[in-house]
Copies of this chain bind each other. A is one copy, B any other.
Amino acid sequence: MRIVVLAGGIGGARFLRGLKQAAPDADITVIGNTGDDIHLFGLKVCPDLDTVMYTLGGGINEEQGWGRDDETFHLKEELAAYGVGPEWFGLGDRDFATHIVRTQMLGAGYPLSAVTEALCDRWKPGVRLIPMTDDRVETHVAVTLPDDASAEGPGERKAIHFQEYWVRLRASVPAEAVVPVGAELAKPAPGVLEAIAEADVVLFPPSNPVVSVGTILAVPGIREAIADAGVPVVGLSPIIGDAPVRGMADKVLAAVGVESTAAAVAEHYGSGLLDGWLVDTTDAGSVERVEAAGIRCRAVPLLMTDLEATVRMADEALALAEEVRGA
């Protein structure tokens, strides 16, 4: 079985770990979000790709869900001592190596997809990890900074990098708009459309529907390829009982006019794209609404509390896909 998964960072990576165990013989291709990539200290940092690679390759910091295990932060301390920032982005000493190798290879002319493959040669994640595009896409968030957060006067409206919104501001101000800058001119990376065309199932893990899955779908050609693939497309809700399981998805959902409920996210994807949707048992009451939108829906436990629970979620997603296929 060939499975294509559209993945953001932590949620996507953890779901993939369950999926690998639920479908050990499957050929899994992960299309990774690169909209949250950022240049820091002259280095290209790809947080979502790295979270998937480290999580599946056994190098992740399990507790925080991102960054390397057994990590130190001496280089960052020294940069701060030189007065060089930003200090709010947590790059560890081991993690820096990934960004140095990536930056060197990009500088030598390799596309990000080839670089990602080379990095995965070491980590052996057990899936094929492809960035959504080799072109530069950068998610920006429009915010109005409160008086005290801005040196440039009260209520300044500006667009900031997604990482600045997410990590520095911790989504503490409303996102007025979320724009994947450059997406409209980006092309899917080599292998992306082919993997979708050959897939038996397409899955949306419980990743952020706006800044993770949404950004991937914003690359022209990807949404269409999924809609046209003629195979079951099944997603898992990242929202349980009106709040995101983790992260701050509600903040960016508001920016695109979508309420923070499992049903609203399904409707946001729409029946033209999505065939099946899993909501948490807490949200069993919304199954009817989702099905009324033309999307087959089941309520099952959706908390990835441990690997076993995650494997069961992947099993449920694959079962729903088969149900869709048989319908």
Q: Which residues of A contact B (CB under 8 A)?
A: 41-42, 68, 71-72, 74-79, 81-84, 92-94, 96-98, 100-101, 103-104, 107, 119, 122
Query: Is A75 in contact with B103, judged by CB distance below 8 angstroms?
Result: no
User: Which B residues are in CB contact (< 8 Å) with A82?
Assistant: 97-98, 101, 119, 122
Question: Among the listed B42, B75, B104, B107, which residue makes an inter-chain contact with A75, where contact means beta carbons less than 8 Å apart?
Answer: B75
Query: Is B79 in contact with A93, judged by CB distance below 8 angstroms?
Result: no
| Bound complex: CA A75 to CA B100 (Å) | 9
Known: A82-B122, A84-B100. 12 other contacts (CB 8 A): A42-B100, A42-B103, A42-B107, A71-B74, A72-B93, A75-B75, A75-B94, A78-B96, A81-B122, A84-B97, A93-B93, A96-B96
Query: Is B75 in contact with A122, judged by CB distance below 8 angstroms?
Result: no
Query: Is B103 in contact with A74, judged by CB distance below 8 angstroms?
Result: no
Q: How many chain copies?
A: 2
User: Which B residues are in CB contact (< 8 Å) with A94?
Assistant: 74-75, 77-78
Query: Is A97 in contact with B75, judged by CB distance below 8 angstroms?
Result: yes
| Bound complex: CA A42 to CA B100 (Å) | 8
Listed by A's residue number, 26 A-B pairs whose Cβ atoms lie within 8 Å are A41-B104, A42-B100, A42-B104, A42-B107, A68-B78, A71-B74, A72-B74, A74-B93, A74-B97, A75-B94, A75-B97, A75-B100, A78-B93, A78-B96, A78-B97, A78-B98, A79-B101, A81-B122, A82-B98, A82-B101, A82-B122, A84-B97, A84-B100, A84-B104, A93-B93, A93-B96
| Bound complex: CA A222 to CA B103 (Å) | 38
| Bound complex: CA A84 to CA B71 (Å) | 19
| Bound complex: CA A257 to CA B88 (Å) | 56
